[in-house]
Amino acid sequence: MHFTRVLIGLYGFVTIAAAQWPRGIFKNTGKPAGTEIEYDGVTLYISKPKGLSKSNTAIVYLSDVYGLPLLENKLHVSLCLLEARTNMRRLVDSFARAGYLTIAPDIFNGDPADPNGEFNATEYLSRHNPQNTDPIIEKTIKFIHNKLKIDTIAVTGYCYGGRYAFRFLAEGRGADVGFAAHPTLLQTDEVLAIQGPASLATAEIDALFNATRRSEVEALLGTTQQPFQVNLYSGTQHGFGVRANLSDPEQKFAKEEAFWQAVRWFGAWSPSS
């Protein structure tokens, strides 16, 4: 079993990180570069690598509750929602620039949360639960195996999607290696069931994954006999991996470093690496 636990603050790391990572891969700005297709009733946003790629590994990107940015809806959504969705696309495209064919399914089936509207979590999550979400991810994995002929699957999840990154690391679910940032609703049995390496990026302030729960999950991971990593980023709140305040140097650093945390993890533990 391999384990890393890191508390990451700002000072002393920014210059090192800036020098360490290749330029032009992670981007917080720019227009989305991928395309959308329909497969078996599921909308997929696909971003392909250019040049050198990890040709036998694909990333399944599982979003937060703001969901996949459907192109046809752009004129009908709030600017805040549009920005949240565009941030997701930029992350997907960044993983592609890192060399991974990356696919983001619309895990909410056209029913994302609106940050400008009233959000009734109980009602919303009654519509979007494992019984509704799992089949969408299963179809995405089927698409990768059957249509793209790619064998190895890395799964990355943010907030709502973080729970499902763990769910699909269970035996027979399809993922080989996983990363989750500030997961929500992650259950004990889902942690204990993982059969592949798991990496976590966590926020200092997170009511949905607080310090007590973080410590509990860390202890649970230690019983799985799987490689795992838990990184805690200072000065951050829930959602920083996607929706960090880029005018705050500490949050900007944390968002970018969490991305590279996932890339490093997949590179180290993907069976096809």
Catalytic residues: 159, 206, 238
SS (H, E, C) the chain: CCEEEEEECCCCCHHHHHHHCCCCCCCCCCCCCCEEEEECCEEEEEECCCCCCCCCEEEEEECCCCCCCCHHHHHHCCHHHHHHHHHHHHHHHHHHHCCCEEEEECCCCCCCCCCCCCCCHHHHHHHCCHHHHHHHHHHHHHHHHHCCCCCEEEEEEECHHHHHHHHCCECCCCCCEEEEECCCCCCHHHHHCECCCEEEEEEEECCCCCHHHHHHHHHHHCCCCCCEEEEEEEEEECCHHHHCCCCCHHHHHHHHHHHHHHHHHHHHHCCCC
Query: Pick from 213, 133, 145: which is nearest to 176 by CA?
Result: 145
